Amino acid sequence: MPTKQDRDFMEFPEWIRKKFNVQTSQSWANIILFYCEDETQALDRFFELLDEFINRHSSTDTLREGELDIGEKLQAHH
């Protein structure tokens, strides 16, 4: 049975197509590679895009489990 992360990642290919504004049957990896100079740059770009994808629903008023908000962080330092 797929985990929440697995199910979420299933949206990654469509998110990449929207991000690059392309409609293609190419894989998300090929789309990223197409817009990069080489495979090394494409790998770096993949991790940047993955971070952006993972954090796409994050906002200042929704905390991920285990995170402190800025007020709690400031209090902890005093």
Phi then psi for residue 61, to 5 deg, are -100, 0
CA distance 76 to 67: 13
pLDDT at 58: 82
Q: What is the pLDDT of residues 3-53, one digit of tens each?
A: 998 999 999 999 999 999 999 999 999 999 999 999 999 999 999 999 999
What distances in angstroms separate CA 20 from CA 6, 9, 33, 41, one per listed residue? 22, 17, 12, 16
